[in-house]
Amino acid sequence: MDNHVTRRQMIEGIRRAEPVFFRNSPRPQMVLGQGAEKSRVNPGGVADAADRMRRAQGLLARLFPESAFADRPGQIESPLRVLMASVPLLAKCDGALPIAGSIKARGGIHEVLCHAEELALEAELINPGDDLLQLAAGQSRRLFAEHEICVGSTGNLGLSIGIAARALGFRAVIHMSRDAKQWKKQLLRSHGATVVEHEGDFSAAVQVGRAASADSPRSYFVDDENSTRLLYGYAAAAHPLRAQLAKLGVYPTADSPLCVYLPCGVGGGPAGIAYGLALEFGAAAVESYTVEPTQAPALLLAVLEERYEGLHVSDYGLTLTTDADGLAVGSPSVLAGPIIGALCSGLYTESDEAMRAYLKQFYASDGLRLELSAAAGLGGPARRAQIEGLRTPSAHLVWLTGGGLLPEDEFQRLLR
């Protein structure tokens, strides 16, 4: 923590919706070393996700012929860009991820594939470890048509799950919060997904979706508040990043760590990335920071209060009002919270005004076309620079988490 501010004082600042920066003391041994046996994640899960995504390349290329990364069809990867060579400031451009245009493509498509593979194995249509191209065959599609995949989402996870599930032939039911953007609902409907709209917030949509799915036979619920399959899909991003960094001459070490800024909603995305990076480079060689809207700091409050269940930002007088729809989350994921608490070097908040200013600034300087949630981390290096006594980084990496499917008129509205 910023040594001059006590936890209580910080919580008072959060209640007033002020931007705050909490310097955390990571305890990576809780998830990586001794103590890790109590953790719900393990390195095998990340390796398994990377292997599944590799076995799915032919399938994804068949289902989504336009999906490719670096001329490799069916590969769900994104470019790493240099924004300002002098800092150096790097941007991981997950808005460019094929199919879903956001970081949610990583976790969401992985979880849909897990479930499809599981069903096909049970039906003896494939064998363990097979190439998943067979999941596009008629027999598999007929099987999937009898099943439903259901999820509660602020928007982008719904897009990722809905588009992937429909392409495989599943029914898809997406429960959306009131904050969810209309264009995301329309896009999902155009893919044949059923969108159920809720008056309540994201947490309420997840709760209703979970109950509805449990009542419905042959329905599988993707639980954004608790899913290791999603988390492993995000974590698999870390290994390919090593080669991308090396191409730019960036080699994170404990003496000069990689500083990574991660927009945070329910926490699954940032927890997965932070976990993957800690495994790939070693916890000491990475500083991961989460960023949340000043009106929705669910993970920051959870880490400050050391309470990962039963907490909602409305208990602190906050409203969840933010244009960063993907980050409009009041309660933390019970899976992601302790991982973020153990691995992240800091958690901070940003106002919508600041996010909008970064969005405009980086559109002008680098042509970045982002949704507001995706722009949240752009101020990370400047915010970290205000903290004394930190190491000199090998690079700052801002994870730009979405915006790939954003319609032009929505982007123009944000710029205004």
For residues 220 and 261, which CB has a smaller minimum distance to ligand PLP in the complex?
261
For residues 60 and 327, which CB has a smaller minimum distance to ligand PLP in the complex?
327
Least separation in angstroms between CB 253 and ligand PLP: 28
Long-range contact set of residues 70-75: C-beta below 8 Å, sequence gap at least 24: none
For residues 92 and 104, which CB has a smaller minimum distance to ligand PLP in the complex?
104
Q: Which residues bind ligand PLP (CB under 6 A)?
A: 102-104, 154, 156-157, 263-270, 326-327, 371, 373-374, 401-402
Least separation in angstroms between CB 84 and ligand PLP: 22
DSSP result, 308-334: -SS--GGGGT-----S-GGG--SS--T
Task: Please work out, in degrees rounded to the nearest 5, the angle formed at the alpha carbon of residue 235 by the alpha carbons of 342 and 329.
Answer: 65
Least separation in angstroms between CB 412 and ligand PLP: 18
Least separation in angstroms between CB 150 and ligand PLP: 17
For residues 104 and 175, which CB has a smaller minimum distance to ligand PLP in the complex?
104
Query: Measured between alpha carbons, how far is 93 from 75 in angstroms, rounded to an integer?
Result: 15
For residues 55 and 184, which CB has a smaller minimum distance to ligand PLP in the complex?
184
* Structure-block tokens of residue 214: 């449990």
Residue 17 — left, alpha, or beta (φ > 0 → left; ψ -120 to 50 → alpha)? left
For residues 270 and 346, which CB has a smaller minimum distance to ligand PLP in the complex?
270
* Structure-block tokens of residue 385: 């620079």
Least separation in angstroms between CB 67 and ligand PLP: 19
* Structure-block tokens of residue 196: 């159920």
Strand-strand pairing, 258-263 and 286-293: parallel
Least separation in angstroms between CB 337 and ligand PLP: 11
Query: Measured between alpha carbons, how far is 377 from 262 in angstroms, rounded to an integer?
Result: 6
